[in-house]
Every structure is written in C-alpha cells, then in structure tokens.
Structure 1
Amino acid sequence: MVGARLAVFVVFALNGAAFGSWAPRMPALAESLHAEPGTLGLALLGASVGMVLAASFCGGAVARFGARLGIAVPLLAGAAALPLIGLVDSIAMLAAVLLLLGAATGVVDVAMNVAAVAVERESGKAIMPVFHAGFSVGAMLGAGVAALAASRGWPVAEHLTGVAVATALVLAAVVRAVPSTVSATTKSEPTKGGSLARRPVLWLLASIALCSAVAEGGSADWSALLLVTEHGMSQGAAALGYAAFSLAMAVTRFAGAWTQNRFGAARTLASGAALASAGLLTAALVPGTVSGYLGFVLAGTGLAAAFPIALGLAGEAGRRPDGSGGEREIAFVSALAYSGFLFGPPVIGGIAQLTSLSVSFVAVGLITALIAPAALAATRSLARERAAADAVTTAVPSGTTSARR
C-alpha cells in the first residue's frame, strides 16, 4: 500500500511532469503560430494569471475540503487541458488554454504543499525540499520526453495527450494515500486575509519565492529558445537545457533537507541564491553549448531550496497549537510568488524583443541574487514571531486556550 509520504512525492512529480512537458515545446508552438518572443510572452501570461488568481482564492477552500480533494480535481482538469495546447491556431487561443491550465496548477500547488507540510509535521523533520525534488524529477522526465518528441517531430497534441492519460492513471493509484488535512478547526475558522497582509514575515517569504519563480519560470519558458537563438543549438538539444536544469534541481533537493537541518534556512537560501545567479549569468553571457548547459545546471542547483524552504516556513508561520494550520499562509505566499510567473514571461519577452534573450537572462540573474538578503530578514522575523507567540502561550493560565492566530 502506498504511504502518505510517497503519495505526496508522486503528486509533486505529476505536477512537475505536466509543466515540463509543455514548456519545452514553446519553439514548436512559436514556429507553428509564427509568434515573436514578445507575442509569445503575452500568451504565456495566461498561465500566470490563472495561477495567481487560483492561488489567491483557494486557501480557504483547501482548508475546508482538504488537500486530497484540492489535488485530485484540479490535477485531472489540468491533464484534460494539456492536449488543447497542441490544437490552438492563434495566440489568443493559446493564452486561453494556458489560463485554464494555470488555474488548475495554482490550486494543485497550494494543496500539495499543504499535504507536504502535514507529512513534514508528522515526521518531525524538515523534509519539504524532498517533496519539491519530486516536482523536479517530474519536470525532468517531462522535459526529457518533450525533447524526444521534438527531435522525432511528434505533433504537440499527440505528445500531450499521452502525458494527460499517464497523469490520470498515476493519480488514481496514489490519491487515497494523500493526507486529507481536514480538521474541525480548519473547517470552522474564518478567512483572515487582512491579518496575513499585516505580517512582514509572509511578505519576506513571498519575495523569496517570487524571485525563485521568476528564475524558474524564465528557465522553463525561455531556456530552449535562448539555447537555440543565442547558442545555436537544435530544438531537440535545446529542450535538454531545461531537463538539465530540472535534474540539477532534483538532485540538490534530495540533499536539501540535510542541508537545511545542518546549516539552517538562511544560510541555505543565501548560498543557493549566489550560485543560481552565477549560473544564469553564465548561460546568458558565455557562448557555447557547454556553457549553456553548465549555466542552467548551476541555476537549478542554486534555486533548489528557495521555493520549498519559503513555503515550509510559511506553513510553520501558520501553525496552530494543535498542530494544524498553515493553509492560508501557504496560499498567501504562493499567490504573491506566482506574480513572478505573471510578470516574468512578458518582461523577459519584452526585453528580448528590444535587446536579446541574453540581456533578459542577465536581468533574471540579478533578480535571483535578491533572495539572499530577503532570506536573512525573513528568518529573523519568523524567530521574533515565534518568541512573541511563545510568550503569549506561556502567559495563558492553565486550562484555557490561547487566541494566537
């Protein structure tokens, strides 16, 4: 029987495989639609809008109905939307399909992180990076199949139909083992979005995830086109650039839990930001096939810990005395982070239209470096919140319940 930890890992992998399957086919779509980088960036905006809107409003629903249902329904809806990407005949249609796919992905992302936090709390150890390694493994496999499909000239619609069917079958095998996460407290607690917005630690964690999202999204959406136009690779070889990025991220995330437990969240995030920034600058500025692949390997390695640690800390910031909570905090941070996917694609495409994709990736590398100071500030802010909350809990007389959060 599948355990909860493995089930959640597989769900992360399925979400990554879906994304890794369609993003590397952008060169084929650009060619079939005769789209320039700036126009294609506007179409990619559809997925980002869907993700931001869904993540902004799904926190309460995931808290009420549980992570299991929050994963199953939108993941199946997203799988059904995948083949439509290969059937579009205009930029407007592509944007509409990506809007639907992005909305489904946004809900799944919040729900699977809530499930991951529940498993992490049960284990008593920091293991969020391991679950996010599942996303990277899935993205790597999806990108690998996409590279094969591109090199063999498979139609995008047929390729993505196969991905959709495989997603539904694997989900059916593991969904019952995903934690429900429904409790009496989460079902009855009202939404407190205003109070969340007044907490500096959540804004700092969101900025970390946002910078990571810009870099991850830029690598996913534009790495293949960068390697084709600036490094002279074929479409099949260029698609392997994102596969290398995902492989490096997956391997690093498997070790990320140990690194976080050994060196702490702040040091892990800051050192990763420096490495990722250096990798993106290498991919942007150093010509040649080897430097292109190496740059994205370094970027994947450095970014590996950013998103999982930020969301794990967001869940910890929302933890209640009974061990539940964190759904709305994760949704809050996720929604703000997804704005990186929202403005990232059109900004990168716009800069490329005016200059080149190399200049765009230089900008992304500089944005990635901002993770380091945000990480230091966020961990200090969370420590202050914990100390204040512990003081309040200690002051509450025995037999009563603290009103914290």
Structure 2
Amino acid sequence: MVALFGADGIGFGVWAGLIPHFQQQLGFTTPQLGIPLLALVCGAIISMPLAGSFSARRGSMTLGGPACFAFASALCLVAGTAAIGHGVLFTLAAFLFGATKGLIDVSANTQAVLLEEARQRPLNAFCQACWSLGGLTGSSLVAVVGREEAFITPLLIVVAGAIAAIGVFAPRRLVDDRNPEQKAGGGTSTGVFSALRDSPHLRILGALAILSLFTEGVMSDWAAVYLREAGGASNSFAALGYTAVALAMTTGRFSGDWAIRKLGPANVLRLGGSMVALGILLAVGTGLTIGHPAGIMGGFVLLGLGVANLVPVIFSAAGKDPIAGAGPGIATVTTLGFGGFLIGPPLIAAISAGIGLSGALLILLLAGGVIAWNAQRAVRV
C-alpha cells in the first residue's frame, strides 16, 4: 500500500518538476498553461467516482496494479506530446494523466483506511509522508538530471518503468477487499452528500481539507514556475521550488505523530495554518521586492512545514466523527480535499491572468489564516 503512495508521488513530482520545461517547449504563457492543468483536473474528477464504484464492486486491491501501468503510460505520453510542441495533444495527455492519477488516489487511500482498521492505529501521516517522499524524489531527479535536455527522456523511461514495476509487485501486499463484506468504515451515511448533510462538524473538516490540499496542489504546479519568473532561476534550479516544499512536507509528516502527541491536534492545525500564511507572504514578498531565489525558497520551506500535518489531523478527526462514522467521514474529506488539490493550479492560472502570479499566490495567505482560525472547531468532536 505504501508503494502506491510512493508511485503516485514520484510520478506527480516528475510532472511538477518538468512543468517549466513543458511550458518552454510548447511556448505557453502562464494563463495558457492553465488549460492543460484544468484538463488534468477534469480527468481526475471523472475517474475518481468511476474508480470508487469499481472498488466497491471488485475491491481497491484489484485497481492498484492497472492504475500504476496507466499512470506510467500517461506520464510518457505527456512528455512526448510536449516534445513535439503540440498543445492540443499535450492537453489531452494531461487529461489522461489526471485520470490515471485519480485511479491511484482512490486505490491508495482506500487501502490506507482498510489498513488503519486492521491495525487499529493511525497511519495517515505516514502514508502522506510516503507520497511526499515520492514527490520529493521525482522533482529532485528532474532538478539534477534536467540540466541536460538529452537526459530527460531516459529519466522518464526509468521513472515510468519503476511505477509499472510497483504495479506488478504492490498488489500482492495490499489488503484483500474483494469480499463485498470487507468495507472501510462503518458509518450510517452512504455517500459524500449525505455525510455532509448529516454532520455539521464534517462540513468544517471538508472545508479545511479543501484549503489544505488546495495549498499543496498550488505549490506542486506553481512553485517551480514562480521561482523561475520572480527569482530569475534556470529551469533546473526552478525545479527545486517544489523540491523544497516536498522536502519540508516529508520531514514534517515523518515527525507528525510526535508533534500531535506533544502539542495536540488543534495546536498542530493552528500552527500549521499560521506557517502557511507566513511562508507564502515571505516568498511573494521576496519575489516582489529583491527577487532573490533564496528568499523565495525559504518561504516555500516554511509553507511546506506548515502544510505537512494539516491533512493527517483533518483525516483523523473525520474518522472520529460520531455522526458520519469512520468510513464515510474519511471518504468525504478525501473527496473534497483532492478536489481542492486538483482545482488549485488552474484557478491560480486564471487569477494570474488578471493580477499576476504573485497576487494570485497570496490566496494561500487567506487559506492559512482560515485554517488557523478554525483549528479548535475542527478537532472538536
């Protein structure tokens, strides 16, 4: 199950690190880049409900392997269409990339819930840390290897091969949920809308999940671009923008259980939201004034540390919701949160067309403030 999170992360990390490279190959402006990013969102939104229905009938264990193969193929297709400079085909490939990512997201997160129930202990922070570690690995590989354009294709082949190999071996270690009686959760709500209708507490958690993963999604696609545009960095150095965020998130999540025990979940949320706000303020402030990449990178690191344990705390609180129950509660905030993750990048692209990328990124200042303000209400059950 952990391997699925790693495969998802490394594939997405390579995508995020190569966005400036793709943009240059295609000759896209920043607003134009929002079109394929929106296509990625549409692909994921369409595939996630279908993957959920498939998992309910056949089991998430059955979905994991084919999802990895499809994800690896879509990553190669994205790079190939960018290399020939065809914007329409690139947009279609981005749609397929988003759709296959949605398949892995559903399979991996369903497996995480099942494993939590089997072991009777929280695992969300560790699973999200593995996703972050995968993203860090992918973007770091781009930063190192991507200095020479000739090395990008071999890198993609190796990464796609590794993801496909996970698709072969990982399903053997997954929780077998092919039995219809093996269900995640046990609440009375039957879907996202009914859970939201029944539980006011879950509505708060859902809103904070959207803001938390919205922040992660924006950083995954726009950190490298902002470092290049505002900091004057090269494409290979710009890839370190997302690497800095991913490294900070990975470090924070591996220490997340300790922080929650010491500080309490409400304080972790409050501190995390505040760090998100201060981090983006530092990055954008540096970009608008001295334009030094070190200051921008420092802001990204602070933001990454802040956002690291927001999702684990929110997911854990959702699993304890007394009205929805563990399964529907987690499924609801996961669905809403990943919607925020996917819609964030194209929304920033659209807003940047009017006020510039620096102004658009300041939306994260508001997101961090809302999370910090509602921390106590979020963890109260």
With normalisation by structure 1, the TM-score equals 0.84
Q: CA deviation at 1:320?
A: 9.6
Residue equivalent to 1:400: none
Query: Which segments of 5 or more consecutive residues in structure 2 lack a partner in the other structure?
Result: none
Residue equivalent to 1:196: 195
| CA spacing shift, 1:300–1:194, aligned 2, 3 Å | closer
Residue equivalent to 2:307: 303
| CA spacing shift, 1:272–1:312, aligned 2, 3 Å | same
CA RMSD of aligned residues (A): 2.5
Determine whether 1:291 maps to 2:290.
Answer: no
Residue equivalent to 1:226: 226
- How far apart in 2 are the matches of 1:20 and 1:184? 35
Q: Is the CA contact 2:132–2:246 (under 8 Å) kept in the aligned structure 1?
A: yes
Residue equivalent to 1:5: none
Q: Is the CA contact 2:276–2:364 (under 8 Å) kept in the aligned structure 1?
A: no
Residue equivalent to 1:136: 132
Determine whether 1:69 maps to 2:73.
Answer: no
In the alignment of these two chains, the number of paired residues is 370
Matched to 2:260, the amino acid is Q
- How far apart in 1 are the matches of 2:173 and 2:62? 12
Q: CA deviation at 1:250?
A: 0.5
Greater CA drift, 271-280 or 54-63:
54-63
Q: Is the CA contact 1:126–1:261 (under 8 Å) kept in the aligned structure 2?
A: no
Residue equivalent to 1:351: 351
Greater CA drift, 283-292 or 63-72:
63-72
Q: CA deviation at 1:231?
A: 0.8
- How far apart in 1 are the matches of 2:190 and 2:57? 11
Greater CA drift, 84-93 or 58-67:
58-67
Residue equivalent to 1:48: 41
Residue equivalent to 2:7: 14
Secondary structure of 1:270's counterpart equals helix
| CA spacing shift, 1:335–1:123, aligned 2, 3 Å | closer
Determine whether 1:96 maps to 2:95.
Answer: no
Residue equivalent to 2:274: 274
- How far apart in 1 are the matches of 2:47 and 2:244? 29
With normalisation by structure 2, the TM-score equals 0.88
Q: CA deviation at 1:202?
A: 3.0
Query: What are the equivalent positions in structure 2 for 1:4-403 lying under 5 Å apart?
Result: 8-88=1-81, 89-154=85-150, 156-186=152-182, 191-198=190-197, 199-286=199-286, 287-317=291-321, 326=327, 328-380=328-380, 383=381
Greater CA drift, 240-249 or 367-376:
367-376
Secondary structure of 1:291's counterpart equals helix
Q: Is the CA contact 2:39–2:92 (under 8 Å) kept in the aligned structure 1?
A: yes
- How far apart in 2 are the matches of 1:309 and 1:270? 11
Q: CA deviation at 1:156?
A: 4.9
Greater CA drift, 337-346 or 247-256:
337-346
- How far apart in 1 are the matches of 2:30 and 2:180? 49
- How far apart in 2 are the matches of 1:320 and 1:37? 41
Q: Is the CA contact 2:40–2:97 (under 8 Å) kept in the aligned structure 1?
A: yes
> Percent sequence identity over matched residues?
30
Q: Deviations over 1:285-335 (max 9, x none)?
A: 1131221111111111111112233233334449999xxx61x54443233
- How far apart in 1 are the matches of 2:180 and 2:339? 32
